[in-house]
Structure 1
Amino acid sequence: MAGVDVEAELVAHLGAAGLNAYATLPPAFDEKLPAVAVRELPATERARPWNGPALSHDRDVDVDVFAGDAGQAADLAERVRSLIEGIDVAGLTVARVPYFVRRPDWNKNTRRRGAVLSFITR
């Protein structure tokens, strides 16, 4: 796996912007909305030289945003998209930041939107 901890970098980047961002949602997270959950998905190799180690990887991250109502969730999703587009981490390239779509709500107090973001790491 490439040396960049994408999940940790995203949590730190979003947290530095004042968002409650987590790799693992804490119990009762819905009492501190808005919140962002970041979970890295399995990676794939992008480039490997003959008989050598992988040089780069395609890395996908599932991101959910949670807010008290649908409008707040949509606004938070756009803010997260904008923040991710501006991330500046050595060895990390933003490949795809799609529109966040509505996902099933986990309880009656939260509204959720999400997307799978793609990165390239070296």
Structure 2
Amino acid sequence: MPELDDQDLEATQVFLLNDKRTNALAACRVFQEEGQWTFGRVAVAASVRGQGLGRKMMEAVHEYLTQHDAKKVICHAQVHAQAFYEKLGYQTQGDIFDEGGVSHIMMVKTL
């Protein structure tokens, strides 16, 4: 069963589709919370990991945010993905924290 929360009703879901546009290869949600742009639940299908789709997904998210005049975006990154986001220009903010039993770190990027 998928996990849902209040942001799912307001979030924009971003998908990267295969060439035939029949299957999602990557997904992410983008939303504003208390006036701050954020994204989360970034996922890439296991069968296509390592092919740069995570980077393409984030480029699509950044384009969406720029089109909506966002100046800054935050995320709660899983600690194992911290280096991925740092390569995209994100900086850590604060200490590691637990979210759903997984270690996370807040990361921020100025657009």
Relative to the length of structure 1, the TM-score reads 0.37
Tell me the TM-score normalised to structure 2 length.
Answer: 0.39
| Larger RCO: 1 or 2 (CA < 8 Å, sep 6+) | 1
Which structure has greater strand proportion? 2
Q: Which is greater in Rg?
A: 1
